Amino acid sequence: MGGEDAGPPLLQLRNVSKSYGAVTALQGVDLQVRGGEVVALVGDNGAGKSTIVKAIAGVHQLDSGEILVNGHRVHLNSPQDAVDAGVATVYQDLALCNNLDILANLYLGRELRVPKPRLIARFLARGKMSVEGRKVFDQLAISLPSLTTPVSDLSGGQRQAVAVGRAILWGSSAVLFDEPTAALGVQQQAMVHSLIRRLRERGLGVLVVSHNLADVFALADRIVVLRLGRVAGIFEPKEATPNQVVAAITGTDTIFDSGTVSRGPATW
């Protein structure tokens, strides 16, 4: 999937720039993610990846340029603005509440209540919430324990599944993953890969920010390289090699047979 046949962009950044005092984090960056496409954003530390994540998530505001969702310009001045626009961010720390169960995390901030207008304190409609929540996990072919299980009892991959399920439940059209497989074992990484592929199959636009080139080449339809706040290259995994991507990350054309470039490791 992906490429020109995937339709118009669901998420698009046009000529965006951001500075922190005298430090330029982003300068004239263009980025787009189409429906049914996984785009990987890679770069060295300080390349501007975190700034893009925070801008799309509504945490930091850009100095110039624009963000479009489903073809419409949006002003993301807060995380709630991003959610309302249809953009979900699955952070590395997942932003889940460990003291709550799966169901409560799915509906956190959007709880359904029993329609009893005369009651001052209406009860949560947990039955309806459970049915709808289970439907989402079934659609994603996600196997989870009871929805009453505390999130603190889940594995890393299962926690990712809860965060993804929340994005689907809330009607997100674009999902941003920030280092989705960091600190996960092989089995849990495979679960996360499956989740991302299912989002692509459902026609969502997926942006994956990662240092792990193995993940990037396994998942992405396109790879966008950031270096010093600018786009340094765009690659298609079927036509590019990890060495070429690393060369763009580091800004060097010197590639050795050993699988490394003149400076920097082979995964970022």
- The pLDDT value recorded for residue 203 is 93
Residue 50 falls within a domain, yes or no? yes
> Domain of 58: which CATH number?
3.40.50.300
Beta bridge partners of 208: 40, 177
Residue 212 falls within a domain, yes or no? yes
Residue 125 falls within a domain, yes or no? no
Count of C-beta atoms within a 10 Å radius of residue 262: 13
Tally of structural domains, the chain: 1
Tell which wins on pLDDT, 27 or 125: 27
Q: Which residues contact 186 (CB under 8 A, 6 or more apart)?
A: none
Residue 130 falls within a domain, yes or no? no
What is the tens place of the pLDDT at every residue in 219-258? 999 999 999 999 999 999 999 999 999 999 999 864 433 3
Residue 268 falls within a domain, yes or no? no
Residue 118 falls within a domain, yes or no? no
What Å distances lie between residue 32 and 141, 154, 207, 227, CA to CA?
Answer: 28, 33, 9, 17
User: What residues make up the domain containing 17?
Assistant: 3-98+174-250
Question: Angle formed by the axes of helices 156-169 and 126-139, to 10°?
Answer: 110
Residue 211 falls within a domain, yes or no? yes
Count of C-beta atoms within a 10 Å radius of residue 192: 23
Residue 153 falls within a domain, yes or no? no
What is the tens place of the pLDDT at every residue in 158-185? 888 888 888 888 888 999 999 888 878 8
Question: Is the whole-model pTM more than 0.85?
Answer: no
Give the angle 234-236-41 at the CA atoms, nearest 5°: 50
